[in-house]
Structure 1
């Protein structure tokens, strides 16, 4: 339990008032669907980068990563550094194709490349997964953190309901309010504020913790911290985080899908004022993604040094309650709220865009007016919030929120990543190949999840040590998906030219937007790549 004082409460209330004021400010300028869903396509690279970073960081990151680091060490943060490489793919390969086609949604891109059926398949997938693995997890994890830090239990009532339920409703209403009012612009600019609060609180906690443990040298020498807890590289037989799983399974599978194709993430890049701004925003986000290992993951290892024997997920709240004074706790708790709202608002805005553009507008005989589309988006936000709250009992049955989210993403995202990535890079890929790839890959992913949750498993060779990690199993899903995509495409007619021209990546295409010298995005992309790979070597 974390005791908070009047100063802490004042900080939190002040922060919430600033956030809602930003939403009200941008609500004045929402006149068209492009304004509401894509911020008028006027976003610049600093805000795109900050928002990409903030949208990925939820309460499950602050609490879940610290808890995993308490259990297995820094390697739990490997997803963060792999994300840096995924964002390079977003900048170099995907953003130019997305912005040249002026799409609203990633499923819309699939229709341009393949067919309406492919668009609907991905859009339905996104919409369902938003409710089951994004909104529900964000609300439940946020309520769980509030419950933990305030010392509530299952018997605590708030406004006549269980405290956890009331908290989910209040968090959802607040976040939904400013998202529905201001659209993507409100989401992006509140995200920029939330990054500052989030990082400030996390840096304070990390520095105080390091000071208590005697600095980095003291952490290395601490008897409670196994030496392997400070290594980012694990063998291929590691049950959770093998290095091959990160660099093959995650980089080219769930990581690629999440950072380059997930509507809730990519939407702020779709609102970029130019390809150059979109690219540089993605690269900035890549530099920012280096930091979570040091400010979200490292506190978990510090907690192991200072507080051995506690529950894994208690690492973060224990650090806050025992190390931080009143006032500073308010900043950290505001950071928790920032993490929750920055991921939830992106998801809500994405769901509104998907439902409005991929279903209502696409299938309307007469396209709804601009104001009508905005209101359809707002109603969608309310419905998705309600559905997310109703689905939280499914999440409560999972032993580990973080692991559940990663497994679903690894298995379900892989066939989608193969279809989109192959469709951009290989002109011979056709609609039949893409549909077969997504259907077969999804079914195989479901089977893999079922096999891993069945006592003793259902397939013998999958029980070998090398296949215990879901990251390695997702590689099998990728191999099958690629094989299906290629074989079916080659066995059927090639796609018409209209499905490839201006949609597929064009090697050697003149690029007048890339700038010169230090303004060339390739310079910063190269620096980011070298820096990330150096960090992997240093912390091996």
Structure 2
């Protein structure tokens, strides 16, 4: 890499660290660390939420899958922005009824009791670490493609910066860096796509040089495969802890609704950009690894000076997701596990320092996960199977219909997790035998057990948190 480009990347890293340092002054309580004091208006909410979910999977991962399979993967994965728009319209505004809530566990405890909070905290924590590991792998992939350094070294270097600013600055630092990162990705990745298409001779030339299946709606996918991927993205990352935290950070339901819905709409545009970059890379560099499609195009096609800025924007989309999941995992551990079940009398100042310490430790754990992961998308899909079959649907049912039954939520979470694990890692290959993925089987088990148990054991939850409806 040219020294000018390297200097641009170093400046970007320095800006993130400065933001983290300046944010320390704004973090005086756990509420500041977790939800930025509930002062995030909708334009900022839109930017930080979009930056959070448009990470390594939405950029390099989708570019890589489009490199392999064509636009069909983009169509299947568009289920996620659809789910985000729907959540913005119908779920996010309702979350502001819960005052003082910082996590999904706070809301689950209000409806389903202390036991539901504990299981929600455990499953959420595992899920966040898995997604964080996928983003750490994406950071290493960028460094390897652009700088030529070992992927493992890239993972450690990039995640060290994320750990610094997210640990000291909490959600304030995460949101401020997310806004910077969103502006960079919104400008430079579409610019990379346009320059790549121009290099090939225009859109018509790109289409003519692609395999026919790469430009079709279904590609080489069977209907079952398409629906499996669609459902995985429809449910797998919807209302996950970092995104729910964003809605809880808004000052009121109006800001939560607009910010969330607009972010979902932006997702459609960004998915198209990522997928098209993957197709341009396929035409220009057919022999490279799919996950290298986007970084390789950036490295080879852009002029000196611009390459460093676009590399920084690519790192931005990955790091913005990584910092969100890192912050969320720390808040989940303290709010849903440590304070209610280990030390209920913990002081506010001690709670804040524990969140910072846990933030650091979880980041180190995610780095270790990333060092052994093999594919960004595979890591994401594996993590998705830990969210949708356990927490998502009981959470949605509770918020939409004000349901209260501790047995139904706990039974549903355990049933969904058990079926998912048996389907994916049991002695028989049930995915092949039945044609159902582990995620879908787990979701079905989760819903059936929830409905049956709720119909038999409707009751008031054992305990309720301070998050009462306004």
TM-score by length of 2: 0.91
Shift of the alpha carbon at 1:236? 7.6
Distance 1:295 1:70, change over 3 A: same
Q: How is 1:324-403 mapped onto 2 (pairs within 5 angstroms)?
A: 324-363=302-341, 367-395=345-373, 398=374, 400-403=375-378
Query: Is residue 67–residue 315 contact of structure 1 (8 Å, CA) maintained in 2?
Result: yes
The answer to whether residue 272 in structure 2 is matched with residue 294 in structure 1 is yes
3-state secondary structure, aligned to 1:291: helix
Shift of the alpha carbon at 1:113? 0.5
The answer to whether residue 458 in structure 2 is matched with residue 458 in structure 1 is no
- Give the alignment partner of residue 70 of structure 2, picking from 65, 69, 73: 73
3-state secondary structure, aligned to 1:259: coil
3-state secondary structure, aligned to 1:484: helix
Match of 1:121 in 2: 119
The answer to whether residue 173 in structure 2 is matched with residue 196 in structure 1 is no
State the alpha-carbon separation in 1 of the partners of residues 351 and 104 from structure 2: 18
Distance 1:12 1:458, change over 3 A: closer
Task: Map Cα deviations across residues 56-85 of structure 1 (whole Å, 9 max, x no partner).
Answer: 122343322211111101122236532222
Query: Is residue 95–residue 253 contact of structure 2 (8 Å, CA) maintained in 1?
Result: no
Match of 2:238 in 1: 259
Shift of the alpha carbon at 1:498? 9.4
Match of 2:164 in 1: 177
3-state secondary structure, aligned to 1:273: coil
Runs ≥4 in structure 1, deviation > 6 angstroms?
Answer: 496-500
Task: Map Cα deviations across residues 398-443 of structure 1 (whole Å, 9 max, x no partner).
Answer: 4x33123214304642232222122333456622121111111111
Query: Is residue 175–residue 344 contact of structure 1 (8 Å, CA) maintained in 2?
Result: yes
The answer to whether residue 49 in structure 2 is matched with residue 84 in structure 1 is no
Match of 1:213 in 2: 200
3-state secondary structure, aligned to 1:191: helix
Query: Is residue 97–residue 503 contact of structure 1 (8 Å, CA) maintained in 2?
Result: no
The answer to whether residue 208 in structure 2 is matched with residue 229 in structure 1 is no
State the alpha-carbon separation in 1 of the partners of residues 98 and 270 from structure 2: 33
Rg: which structure is higher?
Answer: 1
State the alpha-carbon separation in 1 of the partners of residues 14 and 383 from structure 2: 35
State the alpha-carbon separation in 1 of the partners of residues 334 and 186 from structure 2: 34
State the alpha-carbon separation in 1 of the partners of residues 139 and 362 from structure 2: 17
Shift of the alpha carbon at 1:324? 1.3
Farther-moved stretch of structure 1 (228-237 vs 374-383): 228-237
TM-score by length of 1: 0.80
Q: How is 1:401-416 mapped onto 2 (pairs within 5 angstroms)?
A: 401-410=376-385, 412-416=387-391
The answer to whether residue 463 in structure 2 is matched with residue 488 in structure 1 is no
Task: Map Cα deviations across residues 91-136 of structure 1 (whole Å, 9 max, x no partner).
Answer: 23322332111211101111100011111001011112322x1232
Match of 1:107 in 2: 105
Task: Map Cα deviations across residues 211-260 of structure 1 (whole Å, 9 max, x no partner).
Answer: 122222222222xx1222123446883564x1x33555542x32xxx232
State the alpha-carbon separation in 1 of the partners of residues 311 and 303 from structure 2: 12
State the alpha-carbon separation in 2 of the partners of residues 149 and 432 from structure 1: 52
Shift of the alpha carbon at 1:296? 1.1
- Give the alignment partner of residue 443 of structure 2, picking from 478, 481, 505: 478
State the alpha-carbon separation in 2 of the partners of residues 365 and 59 from structure 1: 36
Shift of the alpha carbon at 1:89? 2.8
Match of 1:519 in 2: none
State the alpha-carbon separation in 2 of the partners of residues 250 and 63 from structure 1: 16
The answer to whether residue 24 in structure 2 is matched with residue 27 in structure 1 is yes
Q: CA RMSD in A?
A: 2.7
Aligned length, in residue pairs: 468
Shift of the alpha carbon at 1:347? 1.3
Could you tell me which runs of 5 or more consecutive residues in structure 1 were left unpaired when the two chains were aligned.
153-162, 505-510, 512-540
- Give the alignment partner of residue 418 of structure 1, picking from 393, 403, 414: 393
The answer to whether residue 139 in structure 2 is matched with residue 142 in structure 1 is yes
